[in-house]
Structure 1
Amino acid sequence: MKVVVSRSGGFAGIRTTWEVQVDEQPDRSTWAEMLSGLPWDEVSETAPQPDRYVYRIRCAPHEVVLGEQQVHGPWQELIDRVRGVNEGH
């Protein structure tokens, strides 16, 4: 299972992408539990805001697009965790 987080927008408009292969992680059961507990179907669409980030999170069969203002709680935890794996933390 692969998780892909893309961040675009912001002041510079640069797109950054992080991904993790959950099956290759030593704590894959913790990852699976986190992913299954996310409110995938409860995300409401919001209009993009100038100079703010937009996050696209994909983990088949799920995909959500979150405005920066929507990134909190479990979504923030997931994004931080995916970034941490990619940045070696």
Structure 2
Amino acid sequence: MKISVERTGGIAAIPRVWTVEARSETAINQWQPIVEACPWDSVPRTPRAAAEKFAGQQPDRFIYAIRAGQHRAALPEQAVTGPWRVLVDSTREAAEASRAEGRQDGASAG
């Protein structure tokens, strides 16, 4: 299962993407409950839909586009709470740890 979180918007408008590939049975068993805890059917699926739904509430905030397997969601920063916050933070931490391990193997930071 591939999980990705893309953060766009904000004052600088610099996008960031964090991706995790859960391939082993152990990894899938770790990520599946986190993914399934999120209420995918109750949120917009695209950043445009999220921007329209939450328009004017808080300009210059981040929008998170989240993908996990076949699931899609897009949420403004203020809506990334509860299970969404766990999924976003876990994905970011795992992706950053993976990048750090790559740098320790002699790869350049990027």
Structure showing greater Rg: 2
Looking at secondary structure, tell me which structure has more strand per residue: 1
Alignment-derived partner of residue 47 in structure 1: 55
Runs (4 or more) in structure 1 with deviation over 6 Å come to: none
- Structure 2 contact 8–16 (Cα < 8 Å) conserved: yes
Matching residue within 64, 71, 88 for 2:80: 71
Where does structure 1 lack aligned partners over 5 or more consecutive residues? none
> Does 2:38 match 1:30?
no
Paired residues for 1:11-30 under 5 Å:
11-24=11-24, 26-30=26-30
Q: Normalising by the residue count of structure 1, what TM-score does the alignment of the two structures yield?
A: 0.87
Aligned equivalent of 2:3: 3
Q: How many pairs align?
A: 89
In structure 2, distance between residues paired with 1:23 and 1:61: 15
In the alignment, structure 1 residue 85 sits paired with structure 2 residue 75: no
TM-score (norm 2): 0.72
The structure richer in helix per residue is: 2
Task: List gaps (5 residues or longer) in structure 2.
Answer: 45-52, 99-110
